Structure 1
Amino acid sequence: MVSDKLSTHVPFSSTYRGLDAIKSKMCSESCGAFVGPMDPRDFLKAFVPPPSAQEGGEQRKMPEVSFKKMSEAKNEFDMYPIYIKICERLDKDHIMRYYDTHSKTDPRTVPLGSPDRDGLSPDVMTYHKDRLPEADARTDFCLAERADEFKFKNLVDPFDDKPNKSAYPFESCTKDGKETRGQITAYAAAMLELQFRTFVFSVLIMGEFARLIRWDRSGAIVTRAFNYQEDPEPLAQFLWRYSFLSRAQRGFDESVKVIETTDDTPDQDKAKEELKEYIGSNAGRNPEIFLLRMIPLDVSPQALNKTLPHRASSPSDASSDGYAPPSDGNSSPSDRAPSPSDGPPSPSVGPSSPSIGPSSPSVRPSSPSVEPLSPSGGPSLPTDEPTVPPATSYYAHKERPDDGWDYYVLAPRMSDRSPFGRATRSLYVYDRFDGQVRHLKDTNRIISPSHTVEHEIIDDLNEKDVKHISTVHAAWDVAPRGECSDSVTPTFCDDERIDPLFAPPDVRHHRARRVYRAYRLITHELGTPLWKFKNWSQVVQAIIDILEALNGAEQAGWRHRDVSVGNIMICDGHGLLIDWDACQKSAYMNCKDRTRVPDLTGTWQFISVRRLRDVSGRHDAVDDLESAFWVLLWLALNFAVHSLTPDALRNRLKAIFDDCELEDGHYRGGDGKDLLFRSELDEQLPVTFSPPGLQKILVFLHGLFRIKPPSKPDIGRFSETRAKRVLATYEQNLLDYEEDLA
């Protein structure tokens, strides 16, 4: 179970942002994710094969077309109908449909709970003939195949075909170039977010030049800018071939299926009725439901049942997989979660309070992982290699529907996040075997020997009797046709077809190198997001339970590393700590590693002061515990009764939770939090919260976390004798700190 939140390496905000700001952030957080320039013919050869021969064996021939008329366009708008007509000429079988969508926005690209703002509106969108939008809603990112963008001049090119001298030589540093890059990145993000896709293509037209782009969760592969009017072959071949590609070749996840009239789905109406409760009151148009399967498409359900390990149904017959017995799945209506895609509501303080509330971003390490030495000083751990085999899949029962489609799943919702990274989505599924609604975490896990698969972490925690965590119903690496859905972009970072001069000079900043694999986790528990609490007793109990869970996890050898308001649920009156995918073995943390890029793991607003101020510093157990304090304070400011005016509240939230600045290519912050810890709570935050018990708990936790661990000294400039003295002093201060904590 996981909340819906922005997965990004840069801080987000406790106040909502407009569309232009979103595109600007998209540009910032995608730095280092672009690979190129690639020759367009190499691009076609790698990703867009020519169509197979016709039934009689005759080879298909591309119709002759010319893009010369594009040069006659007086403005950008004149280019659209010319382009569409050429696309239609190349698609003689009318497989696709092409629409001018520049003047109509898609409201579903605006996250629920955001203020009024325009949705996204690409210039030309392509649809398959079997998945067409409504006549009055031609801009539909839930259905579209591609979103192609046009610029009248090539001065707004987001990429440089001569390496620039910045940290990212392929990415344009001009204002117009950055705006265009943010714009096309936002389109790719929306398509990957609102559909079940592993990658998408797009076309960028800039005057007489064009680029072809392939986007996946690691990054985007971009061709060089080519003059499509003088050399029409690459663009024409792409548009012609695209229509003949299979769904998998066009980036669709084959383990998710559009429901057709020919499908055997007599339980569909019941599933819709059961899922309706979880859609949420602000859903707008009813979301579509799809069929979802766990097994590879080329393996029969019967054959797979013989090989998959099955989870025991009771403690008495528990097998070696170590899973705790599944819950009965019965939860009271009050504890059932509305769709997490609703996001945190806009909290208000008093009747005239402004809308305030975060989208709970998740800050993830986005650099290639080069592992530290083991704490014992032994051999180093394995470095990242995209050779990790699929994780063992677990399933809750031994029988499945005859057709192998195990679940109905609700369509995903929009959030303001980059297309790159884990991109975790919180969805609901209807289990066709036992007729129950369950929670699905749809994500992309990092492929690295140093990262443990989340269901294995939860398995270990349950085996060691850690309280207040989920139990797993099913978990698997997405592997249609038996092959895992790994991101492809990293394999081209060192490809001979890409000039290495365009790669970031510091390889650690080349975000496109990190391999991601599609992964799904279904849990038994259905909780309520913490911010939907009934009373403050419920909140305090949840915080106590989360502190107990953190302590238990630490004793079990694991550190969560992402305690946030979005990762705490209320289930059966108790707190439930979710989202363990950032968790690491405590023993392997804080080992010195000079090659790893400084970066943060966690949710910006709730990261500890020390971690915000030193991104390359330690991450101890106390940092996770401190995050629980910031969660409680955030809830108190947003939901409790107090005397702050709306403007004062907004300023406090920004100063304490959103403080950040960019230094040496990385964000740091924490000044507001540090100031709050320099004196008593009521001195820096002269507010009395109601109920009184909440105030007492905040004061107590504030006093506890004011005790700061000593900073590790830099002894490189000292003599050997003095270095020993400095280290001895540090070690004594560390002992005093641990004694104070105890």
Structure 2
Amino acid sequence: MPNVDQSRGAELYVVLPFTLLFAPSYYHVATVDIWHCCEAPTRTTLSIYLPPHGLPDNTYNMPNARRGVYHVPMPIDDNHACTRDMNPSSGDARMRRHLRDSRSFTAGPMPVEQFIDCFLPQVPSERENEILSSRKAFRNVPSGAPTPAEIYKPLLEALNKSTKHKSHAPGLVFANASARSENPHEPGYMKPHICCYTASNGELVAQSPISSRADLGYAELFIEVKSDAYLDFFVDPPCDATAEELAAHEFVARHEPDRATQRVIRSFGQHIMYTTEILARQHRTFVLSITMAGSTARLCRWDRSGLIVSRSFDIRERPDLLCDFLARFACASNTERGHDETVEMATLEEETLFRETITKHVREQLGVEGDALAKAVSEHYEPGYVMAMHVNAVDMENPECAGNTERFLVSRPVTVPLYVYGKCTRGYWATQTGTGRVVFLKDTWRLPGDQEGTIINELNAAGVRNVPTIVAHGDVYAKSPPAQKTLTLGEVGYGLERMRGTQELLSATYDAFHAMRDASDKASRIHRDISVSNIILVQEVNGAPRKGYLIDWESSDKVDTDGLALERARTGTWRFMSIKILEYPEKGHTLQDDMESLLYVILYCSLLHLPHSMRNPDHLHRFIHKFFDDCSYGVGRLHGGDAKLVNTDDRTWTQRIKFNSQNIADWLETVMNYHSPPRHLRREWWDRWSNPEYLDTLWSAFMRRDLEKDDAVQNEVKKAHQRVRSVEDSRIPFIPPTRSYDKDDATFCLAKESQPVVPRKRLQVIAPTPLRRSERLRTQLMSPGPKPTQTVAPWRRSTLASGHSKGDSTRPKKRIRTH
């Protein structure tokens, strides 16, 4: 057994008009030696967070033993038609994205015995007589077969084998979940071959319709089977390998692009999808699973730090290993199986309180009644599924005093993580049981670096406007690995997608701009993740315009004397990143990059929620895809921003959009000219973007105009079969292996609807003159034809690369501002 140490973590704090509670958990840290599967594998020591067997005396005593919280509600899409971002039609894209990401968070192989000892407790001596012998337990499982069914059917029979008083996993049942699917061969509909449930939950799953995802909502663990050992996604080093050989070994093999290896890749991608969905549909700290290739098996442990994989072993030759694993798992507590026991089901009285307070708050925020009110409430409340979370709050002014345990009620989240690794934030509207106040609860995994509570406290002390104000903080103790739970008390609002019109869009984003400027000027900090989801609208006074708040400061960073972020890395939401950060992330984030992101946020919201000339849903989708989401992979990293760069020269993209509101059209045109002045203004406006006071003055003048108050619409956008991750939870988009649309160029995107699309014609190349970057991008993005008469001047290309320019007649002294 590896050495085990005990640690505590994080903090809790309360803010006004929002209250943020960071709830880390009490945990063990086990140190084990494993092998990384990176580009150049090296041996290292990994700290693994483990549930404890006991808690300190001052830890909050959770009432009653809980059976765990299963099959929790998921966010619903804008049409209330399906789970947000889990449309089955995009399953294949999600699978490939998970596979691409998996190389960065997978570690192994870990010796099987050490894996079992590290992650599961011993079977209690008083229960040993309940465990069935492992002798020849899996002798009927073939070592290989033409189909997975010929493997998992005898395996399923062996797993469920029992006598009157003994079984391999007492209290648990195993079922064929793959048969319970409407379309078992499509990634978005598929389910694991075998799922393990408690006996009572197995009955609930059997009674649910096959179209439901209850199989994953109730699963304790799952087993995915491939038909032969050569289909194993991982490759173990030889047992007698030297240190040099181990260092050079690649645990995740690089597969050739043939049909067999595509089966391997697809199968493991599906395995990741199942894990992701279990983590989303249950309150979990980790998930255990088994991947099989023929009769060889690997044990897997998934948490927000990544994946640890055991060495492979043959269950026919070593049935004791799998039987020991299952017996320990069956005898483990809910916490030791990976359930987060800081969450429990609420009482009927608490559910009534939650429903009434949420209904009242929605009515105040939206001013709706009847069916519209019921529909809005359903975004946060699912009848029969109200949970309670416990937080131990400590007064910030008296941190040495014992904290009071607060109980908060939640139901349907507004966002859940659809990936395994990272902060993986859940967000809820919640009710504080002691006061009946509606709050926002943010549940996120703790990462190294400054805590968001510390950051916001610093901003408050500096007098930064339109950010939360901290009034208390403290620790929360629980029987789970470290996670941060953030609660926001006071007013809780809606995202920009609920804006009422042009006035509210420009007003709320102007409030966010004030927060950005104040943070930079007064606290030397920049946000680095300006996006649609990080600006919220709050109705503070009846009849007054809703106020904008800039939230989620956990990705922010201090800046040096030159205004550059101390951390030189790409950070933010892909759709709204500046041109510079997309192409040259190592050059450092600045306030001007955040300003550019805010420009893209307003353009994006205008395209989706204000009336304009592009009424064709397909054209609008193509515009958004190319301008905001498009990317490519090369030289070891993602690249993007080609359409944004081309648009800085002659507004190739945005000039075709005619907004009904002349005010928003004027604002966008003027601010784009500030960011990248046209030729005739470059000498005069060279500092319009480097000095944010110009934008502030312009914005203030626009707010004195008679802006449209109720012109918001919901423009229809054609859904792509292969979608990138949503704005709410996406930082890096999915990259398809090939271009999604062969005709997805600027001319096709922006063509007038009355004009027919004509076939392309191949033109003869007259001279092999190398194209400058802007011309090359235009050639890629637009239909073939004569070279454009307008090109990006040489000083513009060098400016975008460096962020600076000279001050003569051909190189105006201008600093290009990019998010």
TM-score by length of 1: 0.69
**Which of these residues, 195, 216, 237, is aligned with residue 141 of structure 1?**
216
Which one of 172, 176, 192 corresponds to residue 100 of structure 1?
176
1:340-489 equivalent positions in 2, closer than 5 A: 404=405, 406-410=407-411, 412=413, 417-447=418-448, 451-472=449-470, 479-481=477-479, 485-486=481-482
Q: 2:133 aligns to what?
A: 63
Q: CA deviation at 1:646?
A: 2.5
Distance (Å, rounded) in 1 between the aligned partners of 2:577 and 2:298 = 40
Say if 1:59 and 1:545 are closer, same or farther in 2 by CA, change over 3 A: same
Q: 1:739 to 1:214 in 2, by over 3 A?
A: closer
Secondary structure of 2:431's partner? strand
Shift, 1:661, TM fit: 0.8
Change (3 A) 1:477 1:654: farther
Aligned to 1:210, what secondary structure does the other structure show?
Answer: strand
Q: For residues 221 and 477 of structure 1, do their structure 2 counterparts lie closer, same or farther at Cα, with a shift above 3 Å needed?
A: farther
Q: Are 1:128 and 2:201 an aligned pair?
A: no
Which residue number in structure 2 is paired with residue 250 of structure 1?
A: 337
For 2:315 and 2:563, the matched residues in 1 are separated by 52
What do residues 357-404 of structure 1 show as CA deviations (whole Å, max 9, x unaligned)?
Answer: xxxxxxxxxxxxxxxxxxxxxxxxxxxxxxxxxxx799xxx996xxx5
Residues 4, 425 of structure 1: 8 Å contact kept: no
The 8 Å contact of residues 437 and 489 in structure 2, kept in 1 or not, is answered as no
Q: CA deviation at 1:59?
A: 7.1
Q: Distance in 1 between matches of 2:550 and 2:664?
A: 21
Contact between 1:589 and 1:619, CA under 8 Å: does it hold in 2?
no
Structure 1 residue 87 and structure 2 residue 159: aligned? yes
> Residues 411 and 571 of structure 1: is their aligned pair in 2 closer, same or farther, counting only changes over 3 Å?
closer
Q: How many residues align?
A: 572
Query: How does 1:415-564 map onto structure 2 within 5 Å?
Result: 417-447=418-448, 451-472=449-470, 479-481=477-479, 485-486=481-482, 517-555=483-521, 556-564=523-531
Deviation sequence 1:84-142 (CA, Å, 0-9, x none): 333333746741222211032499xxxxxxxx994451111112235453412474323
- 1:302-357, Cα deviation, whole Å (9 max, x unpaired): xxxxxx6425xxxxxxx4x8xxxxxxxxxxxxxxxxxxxxxxxxxxxxxxxxxxxx
CA distance in 2, matches of 1:238, 1:524: 47
Question: Is residue 2:204 matched to residue 1:150?
Answer: no
- How many Å apart are 1:4 and its aligned residue? 8.4
Q: What CA distance in whole angstroms lies between the structure 1 residues aligned with 2:533 and 2:419?
A: 18
Q: What's the CA shift for 1:421?
A: 0.4
Using a 3 Å threshold, how does the CA distance of structure 1 residues 248 and 168 change in structure 2: closer, same or farther?
farther
> Deviation at 1:250?
1.0
Q: Which residue of 2 aligns with 1:584?
A: 557
Give the match for residue 533 of structure 2.
566
Distance 1:245 1:87, change over 3 A: same
| Structure 2 alignment gaps of length 5 or more | 1-17, 21-73, 78-83, 239-244, 256-261, 363-375, 540-545, 678-685, 691-801
Give distance in 1, aligned partners of 2:148 and 2:90.
25
SS in 1 for 2:623: helix
Task: Name the counterpart of 2:395.
Answer: 310
Q: Residue 252 of structure 2 is aligned with which of 165, 168, 171?
A: 171
1:170 partner letter: F
Cα distance in structure 1, aligned partners of 2:432 and 2:556: 28
Which residue in 2 is equivalent to 1:49?
121
Of 703, 706, 711 in structure 1, the residue corresponding to residue 673 of structure 2 is: 703
Alignment TM-score, normalising by the size of structure 2: 0.63
Q: 1:182 aligns with which of 258, 265, 269?
A: 269
Inter-partner Cα distance in structure 1 for 2:458 and 2:182: 44
Aligned partner of 1:210 in structure 2 is 297
Equivalent position amino acid for 1:31 in 2 = R
> Contact 1:428–1:439 at 8 Å: present in 2 too?
yes
CA contact (8 A) 1:453 1:581 kept: yes
Task: Spell out, residue by residue over 1:122-179, the C-alpha distance to the aligned partner (whole angstroms, 9 max, x if none).
Answer: 1111122354534124743232211221112233322122499999922233233322
| Shift in CA distance, 735/407, structure 1 to aligned 2, threshold 3 Å | farther
Distance 1:92-1:605 versus aligned 2 partners, 3 A rule: closer
1:151/1:166 CA distance change after superposition, 3 Å: farther
Query: Which residue in the other structure is 2:737 paired with?
Result: none
1:686: how far off? 1.7
Equivalent residue number for residue 814 of structure 2: 737
Aligned mate of 1:241, from 300, 304, 328: 328
* In structure 2, C-alpha distance between the alignment counterparts of 1:471 and 1:281, rounded to whole Å: 29
Spell out, residue by residue over 1:441-498, the C-alpha distance to the aligned partner (whole angstroms, 9 max, x if none).
1111212xxx2111121122122221122345776665315xx724xxxxxxxxxxxx
Contact 1:4-1:566 within 8 A present in 2 as well: no
Structure-2 change in CA distance of 1:123 and 1:393 (3 Å): farther
SS at match of 1:221: strand
How far apart in 2 are the matches of 1:737 and 1:671? 21
Distance 1:69 1:51, change over 3 A: same
Q: Secondary structure of the equivalent of 2:440?
A: strand
- Which residue does 1:229 correspond to in 2? 316
CA contact (8 A) 2:168 2:327 kept: no
CA contact (8 A) 2:525 2:558 kept: yes
- 1:267 corresponds to which residue? 350
Deviation for aligned residue 1:606: 0.2
- Equivalent residues of 1:160, 1:172 under 8 A apart: yes
Aligned partners of 2:171 and 2:199 also within 8 Å: yes
Q: Distance in 2 between matches of 1:442 and 1:603?
A: 19
* Separation in 2, partners of 1:168, 1:393: 51
Structure 1, unaligned runs of 5 or more: 7-11, 108-115, 296-307, 312-318, 322-391, 487-516, 712-726
Letter of the structure 1 residue corresponding to residue 514 of structure 2: E
Q: Which amino acid aligns with 1:531?
A: E
Say if 2:535 and 2:551, in contact at 8 Å, map to a contact too.
yes
Given that 1:106 and 1:137 are in contact with CA atoms closer than 8 Å, whether structure 2 keeps it comes out as no
Equivalence for 1:292: 389
8 A Cα contact 2:98 2:419, kept in partner: yes
The Cα of 1:194 is off from its aligned counterpart by 2.0
- The 1:559–1:16 alpha-carbon spacing in structure 2 relative to 1, beyond 3 Å, is farther
Residue identity in the other structure for 2:633: L
Q: From the superposition, tell whether residues 561 and 93 of structure 1 become closer, same or farther in structure 2 (CA, over 3 Å).
A: closer
The aligned counterpart of 1:677 is: 648
Q: Is contact 2:134-2:319 (8 Å) kept?
A: no
Give the letter aligned to residue 524 of structure 2.
Answer: G
Q: In 1, Cα distance between the equivalents of 2:88 and 2:218?
A: 27
Q: Structure 2 CA distance, aligned partners of 1:41 and 1:669?
A: 46
Show the 5 A alignment for 1:322-333: none
Partner of residue 611, structure 1: 581
Alignment check: 8 A CA contact 1:200 1:250 kept: yes
- The higher relative CO (CA closer than 8 Å, separation ≥ 6) is in 1
Q: Is the 8 A contact 1:96 1:126 kept in 2?
A: yes
Give the aligned CA root-mean-square deviation in angstroms. Answer: 4.1
Residues 399 and 433 of structure 1 are in contact (CA less than 8 Å); yes or no, is this contact kept in structure 2? no
Q: CA deviation at 1:82?
A: 2.8
- Aligned twin of 1:36: 108
What is the identity percentage for the equivalent residue pairs of Structure 1 and Structure 2?
Answer: 25
Counterpart of 1:649 (choices 608, 611, 620) is 620
Q: Is the 8 A contact 2:415 2:426 kept in 1?
A: no
For 1:122 and 1:269, locate their aligned partners in 2 and report how far apart those are by CA, in whole Å: 37
Distance (whole Å) between structure 2 residues aligned to residue 221 and residue 183 of structure 1: 17
CA distance in 2, matches of 1:433, 1:106: 45
Offset of residue 79 of structure 1: 3.5
In the alignment, what sits opposite 2:97?
25
Bigger Rg over Cα: 2
